[in-house]
Amino acid sequence: MKANDGVKGEGRYRIEALAKGLAVLRLFDETVTGLKLRDISERTGIPMPTAFRVVATLEGEGFLERTDDGTIRPGVAVLTLGSAALRGSSLVQVAERPLRRLAESTGETVNLGVLLGDQVLYLVRLRNSDLVTANVQVGSTLPAAYTSMGKLLLAYLSVDERHEALRTHDFTAAVGPNAARSLAEVDAAADAIRAEGFAIQDQEVAIGLRSVSVPVFGRGERPVAAINIAVAANRHDAADLRGTLLDALRATAQDISLRLAAG
């Protein structure tokens, strides 16, 4: 085999078969949990015969599984890898104890998330039993334009970076009543969020949910993550989020940031 076999572009050491397998795995997310083989071929651009072999290989190794009707979905091996990645994350390890203390002291739901394109990926979630978003868990994603953590992390991007991150975002999707309905609205809020150092979500993700978020820094000038406190709207109005809850959140973020910088 020649040294550049399987090379694409400048990827000198790229293994094309492996890249195809990863492309298939990336098709599955919060909204896409099962696909037919033809769907996989069409979405990846991989010819059907090759897609069949890729899927069969991943299925044999436990990364995919096939239901009786032929639907292909992620297998247990993918879940194991994802769980190990989250547990092994230095950010999660550093943040978990301070976040647990925050959840216990406030009695509210506490989250840690990072920006992933136009989504916020939840890495830590310590949930209060009365919160309305029971379906959100570690590994879940929510639209960044509507969440307090997402709005905050988007605010720390340049305008061009923010526009690129939200390039394919659908502002017509059904969300909470106060959600931004255009990129211009997100931009308009960004300067104030960055200046104040926190972002509030007031029934933008869903009716009945409010949250406040602050940044977590490592050794750089940009946040590496965000943390928030999420509350039920029938127990806290937006003003409550600017008081003692915000103070406690900021203290926790500072604790985590110092630990990350020292690590």
**pLDDT over 70 percentage in the chain:** 88
Domain boundaries, the chain: 16-79, 89-262
Of 25-39, 83-97, 214-228, minimum mean pLDDT range: 83-97
pLDDT-derived band at 174, boundaries 50, 70, 90: confident
The CA radius of gyration of the chain, in Å to the nearest whole number, is 21
Per-residue model confidence (pLDDT) at position 130: 67
Topology given in CATH for the domain delimited by 16-79: Arc Repressor Mutant, subunit A (1.10.10)
- The CATH fold of domain 89-262: Beta-Lactamase (3.30.450)
Shared fold status for 16-79 and 89-262: no
| Residues forming a β-bridge with 227 | 112, 214
Calculated CA dihedral for residues 239, 242, 244, 249, nearest 10 degrees? 140
Task: Name the nearest CA neighbour of 235 among 93, 145, 109.
Answer: 109
DSSP helix, strand, coil percent of the chain (3-state; round to 5): 45, 20, 35
pLDDT tens digits, one per residue of 85-114: 555 468 888 999 999 999 999 999 999 999
Helix-helix angle 16-25:48-60, to 10 degrees: 80
Residue tagged 């991007």 (tokens)? 157
CA distances from 10 to 4, 7, 13, 164 (A): 10, 7, 9, 24
Q: Tell me the pTM.
A: 0.71
Q: Residue 115 pLDDT > 70, yes or no?
A: yes
The rounded distance, in Å, linking the Cα atoms of 38 and 55 is 11
Segment (H or E) for 176: none
Contacts of 2 (CB under 8 A, 6+ apart): none
